[in-house]
Amino acid sequence: MKDSRLVRRAHAMPRPSRICRRSGAAVALTGAVLVAGLALTSWHYSLPEAGASAPAVRLYAGAQPVGVIYPAHRAQSWVPLNRIPPSVVDSVLIAEDRRFWTHAGVDPVAVVRALQVNLKRGELRQGASTITQQLARTLFLDTRRTWARKLRETAISLMLEFRYSKSRILETYLNTVYLGQIGDVPVYGLPAAARHFLGKDLAALEIHEAAWLAGAIRAPNRLLAGAQAEARTRRNEVLVAMQEQGLIDPRTAERALSKALPRLSPDANRVAPYFVDVVAAELGRRTQLPTSGEIQIQTTLNLSLQRAAETAVRDGIGRIEKARPHLAGRVQAAVLAIEPASGEIRALVGGRRYGDSSFNRAIRAARQPGSIFKPFVYLAAFEAERRGQGLTPASVLADEPLSVRAAGGNWEPRNMDGRYHGSVTVRRALEQSLNIPAVRVALDLGPRRVADVAHAVGIERPLAPVPSLALGTSEVTLLEITSAFATLANGGSRMVPTALALDLAGTGPALAALPPSTRAVSPESAFMITHLLRGVMRRGTGAGSSAWGLQEITAGKTGTTDGLRDAWFVGYTPDLVVGVWVGLDDGSPIGLTGAQAALPIWGPIMQMAVRQSAPAPFRPPPGVVLTSVDRVTGRPVSFWCGSDDAVQEAFREGTVLPEGCDSIVQTGVNSVLDGVQKLFR
């Protein structure tokens, strides 16, 4: 019975051939399921489309590059693998993954070596990432050093190798690997890095340059931007390894090793970074930027003037901080130069150093203008005089104690010198930047009218129509105040500022038209203010301009705010307006006037401009006459009425000037004539 049962069991058991066939089928089925699962899962991890380049807008000032704008907020250009030089490919493989062509996404040799180090240290410190793993991490994962992320990275790498060819993976890596920053814009790929750091196409790279870029992949922000000794060591390691692998001959290696590290191109340190930001903002308002490829755009920048402005800011800040050590590292300054006839921005500096702060103080910082606002008070009065009201430049004002009723009590303005000067002409009040006469004029006109005129000439921010507006208590930007003075320089016509040059060749993108020029104030009023501001440069608070030989050919005004918090200066010729602001970002006092802090920055810039191109003279427009008057009394000067301080004053044609004078000669002659008249009677 027992034998029969064994026999029956033996007969019931499948034969060995059947077992093999069934096992093979199961294995095949399992393998097929795994392959199908891997294929389906890998589809979730897709490489970017080949040729996917981020758009780039290249800016020029004439033939000189100024900077690059990246509308997609990333610098990347795609070059197919068959167009990437072998020296570049070899450099990267030597630096990052020498067994790339033989592994399946993970390098077992490197893994064992890294595992030994990490287990010894008890943490994940040394990587063993292949190019495929780096690609997986860059495209699909974060950069945290954890075992879980490393396992996911490995799995994704295997899936990428299953789905894509080695060439496709390598091409994607070369075009997407992270290689540092351009300000806050990341650089991806060897082609973009070659263009940004070296100003070259990838095909033009020399072997030592290719090794330098490849060697920096592991720490690009450090190795490409500053650590020269470490970058050179890393580059040389790549070159030596390439020779050992037979990729370059000993002579080529020797020449490459002797080369100095590459000098960064202008793209790496933008010529005028604050200006480039302004261009980017204007392009965003006026055109639709491309979604791929490159375009070239001409800007309005004058490179010589820009360099002069940057030097003047650096020197001016250095001089202030040397004299006031407690301000070291805190002083900021901004410069803006505008061509009044076109509104084109010729130079712009938005702060002491773009790398420390990209905040553009020339465009965005709103500060009280202080006494630099006073010309617009008198401009409003001259516009009122055109309608039979208001003042002339020779009108006499009272610089005497004044009490103005205001919310919370009476306001009593004071002059900066703490004194009262009695009766003063409009000219003297503006040249000496007296506060009380300006407040009186604003009160007579009404602060609302002053605000309206200021808005008309270029101030866009709200202006509080209160008596203190005359002393510049409403905040403005340097762009606004410089634009307002540009309206004066342009004879009362306001132009919209722009950083984009006219595209005469028609090669750039179509731009929305700027608003047309507008007549803000009459040419007569604009010239009369300009004529007064020329006196500021000769005798008033801008007299320091004589240090640069500018006192006879420019007009301008200083600005100092309450508590010496902000220092301003705007000066101009008919061809160029240059505005300067100096202060601290936190609004605390800098302790200097506009003449002390801002004028010394303005002087070298304007001096460069007039040396570059002789300015046109200031000419009175039709409807303005020049008459000699006494600067103190404002009365006409004649043979009978002499003056020790006579000036040529500008008046609107038809203005009736006060008659008579107090000279001894005139009094004596009048007495004789009166006696003769009585005798004949």
Q: Are residues 112 and 227 in the same domain?
A: yes
The catalytic residue among 371, 493, 525, 643 is 371
Q: Are residues 454 and 601 in the same domain?
A: yes
The boundaries of the domain holding residue 235 are 79-258
Asked if 597 and 316 touch (Cβ cutoff 8 Å), the reply is: yes
Spatial CA neighbour of 385 closest among 444, 320, 428, 452:
444
Q: Are residues 212 and 290 in the same domain?
A: no
Q: Is residue 316 part of a domain?
A: no
Dump pLDDT digits (tens) for 370-399: 999 999 999 999 999 877 677 999 999 999
User: Residue 195's domain is classified under what CATH number?
Assistant: 1.10.3810.10
Q: Are residues 97 and 221 in the same domain?
A: yes
Q: Are residues 606 and 461 in the same domain?
A: yes
Dump pLDDT digits (tens) for 235-279: 999 999 999 999 999 999 999 999 999 877 655 557 899 999 999
pLDDT of residue 43: 60
Residue 144 has pLDDT above 90, yes or no: no
Q: Is residue 47 part of a domain?
A: no
Spatial CA neighbour of 211 closest among 235, 229, 242:
235
Question: Which whole number is the average pLDDT over 324-352?
Answer: 98
Q: How many domains does the chain have?
A: 4
The catalytic residue among 87, 91, 96, 643 is 96
Asked if 269 and 30 touch (Cβ cutoff 8 Å), the reply is: no
Q: Is residue 542 part of a domain?
A: yes
pTM, entire model: 0.83
* Pick from 28-32, 210-214, 287-291, 628-632: least confident: 28-32
Domain boundary among the residues 258, 282, 314 is at 258
* Pick from 139-143, 198-202, 437-441, 619-623: least confident: 139-143
Three-class SS of residue 487?
Answer: helix
DSSP assigned state of 477: -
Dump pLDDT digits (tens) for 412-427: 999 999 999 999 999 9
Q: Are residues 473 and 569 in the same domain?
A: yes
371 tagged catalytic: yes
Dump pLDDT digits (tens) for 14-57: 444 544 454 555 445 544 545 455 555 556 788 988 887 888 89
Q: Is residue 424 part of a domain?
A: yes
pLDDT of residue 680: 61
Q: What is the identity of the amino acid at 143?
A: T
pLDDT of residue 119: 61
Q: Is residue 364 part of a domain?
A: yes
Q: Name the burial class of residue 40, with classes exposed (0-12), middle (13-18) and buried (19+) by CB atoms within 10 angstroms of its CB.
A: exposed
Dump pLDDT digits (tens) for 66-79: 988 988 888 999 99
Q: Count CB neighbours of 574 within 10 A.
A: 19
Q: Is residue 618 part of a domain?
A: no
Q: Count CB neighbours of 454 within 10 A.
A: 28
Which residue is listed with tokens 């970058």? 231
User: Residue 389's domain is classified under what CATH number?
Assistant: 3.40.710.10
| Whole-Å CA distances, 555 to 82, 97, 144, 545, 635 | 62, 66, 60, 10, 23
Q: Is residue 477 part of a domain?
A: yes
Q: Are residues 604 and 629 in the same domain?
A: no
pLDDT of residue 269: 55
Residue 408 has pLDDT above 80, yes or no: no
96 tagged catalytic: yes
Asked if 223 and 230 touch (Cβ cutoff 8 Å), the reply is: yes
Domain boundary among the residues 612, 644, 659 is at 612
**In sequence order, what are the residues at sequence separation of 6 or more whose Cβ sits closer than 8 angstroms to the Cβ of residue 7?**
none
Spatial CA neighbour of 307 closest among 64, 120, 646:
64
Q: Is residue 541 part of a domain?
A: yes
Q: Are residues 465 and 403 in the same domain?
A: yes
| Whole-Å CA distances, 437 to 423, 467, 478, 557, 563 | 9, 12, 25, 16, 20
Domain boundary among the residues 227, 258, 289 is at 258
Q: Are residues 543 and 634 in the same domain?
A: no
CA distance 481 to 475: 10
Dump pLDDT digits (tens) for 545-557: 999 999 999 999 9
Q: Do β-strands 577-584 and 331-338 pair in parallel, antiparallel, or remain unpaired?
A: antiparallel
Q: Are residues 414 and 551 in the same domain?
A: yes
Q: Are residues 279 and 397 in the same domain?
A: no
Q: Are residues 594 and 661 in the same domain?
A: no
